[in-house]
């Protein structure tokens, strides 16, 4: 794993944006893996700016998001599909069909997981996957204890993850209890991975990632087994 330390969230986002744009501009049919959450919001704003400045086009790009809540429709403002439409997809030149997110409303969730996994394989896997880091070390919604050999699957969300995400909902009671997430093996099949870590509230998790052992108790630790991972962290995330 390579560690790049940036001064703050703004600089972290700028650096990630440059890496993504270089990837998109250098491949004929790039496949991006995307995350939701607070960390990449500024990155997506910067990607939109670059598109408006005609530095990049997304007409030839496919995207796959890491995860989606079970039971929230794309019109629900708390769904990850809504988040992505709002923060990125509707503001650049993507057309319908280029952007993939698991369907949390599918009547057969297991089949939906298999369908999603197949779509990623059909796209010849992800060229560049963006990840955020959970306080408990989760990546995607792969919570501590998840087997490293998982493919896209349905998960029961931990209380701590639901508490962390309650800030996007009226109350914790409204935070769904399940999600569909790419599995750890699915994520590891990405050709390149960028993990974004920002803020002092992530310092403990980042410290454990950098100094701890590879263990299913701390899912992000599996990234040590991938050949091309860059952690972009800001100074606050390294203050421990």
Summarize as ranges the residues that interact with ligand F6R (CB under 6 A): 35-39, 66-67, 132-134, 138-141
Choosing from 65, 68, 127, 136, the catalytic residue is 136
Of 54 and 221, which CB lies nearer to ligand F6R in the complex structure?
A: 221
Q: Which residue is at the shortest CB distance from ligand F6R? A: 132
Closer Cβ to ligand F6R, 57 or 73, answer by number: 73
CB 225, min distance to ligand F6R, A: 18
Please say if 52 is a catalytic residue: no
Cβ neighbours for 228, distance < 8 A, ≥ 6 positions apart: 191, 192, 193
What's the min distance (Å) between Cβ of 28 and ligand F6R?
Answer: 27
15 included as an active-site residue: no
Catalytically annotated residue among 138, 142, 153, 158: 138
Annotation says 138 is catalytic: yes
Structure tokens at 222: 């599996």
Among 127, 102, 109, residue whose Cα is nearest residue 28: 127
| Residue that has been written with the tokens 């349905």 in this structure | 154
Q: Find all residues with CB under 8 Å of 9, minimum gap 6, and list them.
A: 39, 42, 198, 199, 234
Of the two residues 56 and 164, which places its CB atom closer to ligand F6R in the complex? 164
Q: Please list, in sequence order, all residues whose beta carbon lies within 8 angstroms of the beta carbon of residue 157, skipping any fewer than 6 positions away.
A: 141, 143, 175, 176, 177, 178, 179
Active site residues: 67, 136, 138, 143
């Amino acid at each position: 794993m390579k560690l790049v330390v940036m001064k703050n969230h703004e600089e972290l986002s700028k650096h990630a944006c440059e890496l993504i744009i270089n990837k998109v501009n250098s491949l004929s049919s790039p496949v991006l893996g995307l995350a939701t959450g607070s960390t990449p919001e500024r990155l997506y704003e910067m990607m939109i700016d670059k598109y408006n400045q005609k530095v990049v086009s997304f007409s030839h790009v496919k995207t796959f998001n890491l995860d989606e809540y079970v039971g929230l429709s794309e019109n629900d403002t708390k769904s990850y599909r809504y988040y992505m439409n709002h923060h990125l997809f509707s503001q650049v030149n993507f057309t319908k069909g280029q952007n993939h997110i698991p369907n949390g409303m599918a009547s057969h969730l297991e089949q939906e997981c298999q369908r999603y996994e197949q779509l990623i394989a059909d796209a010849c896997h992800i060229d560049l996957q963006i990840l955020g880091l959970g306080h408990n070390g989760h990546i995607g919604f792969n919570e501590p204890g998840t087997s490293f050999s998982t493919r896209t699957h349905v998960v029961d969300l931990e209380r701590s993850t639901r508490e962390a995400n309650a800030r996007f909902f009226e109350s914790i009671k409204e935070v769904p209890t399940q999600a569909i997430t790419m599995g750890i093996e699915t994520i590891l099949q990405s050709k390149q991975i960028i993990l974004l870590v920002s803020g002092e509230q992530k310092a403990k998790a980042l410290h454990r990632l950098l100094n701890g052992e590879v263990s299913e108790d701390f899912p992000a630790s599996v990234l040590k087994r991938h050949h091309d991972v860059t952690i972009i962290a800001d100074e606050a995330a390294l203050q421990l």
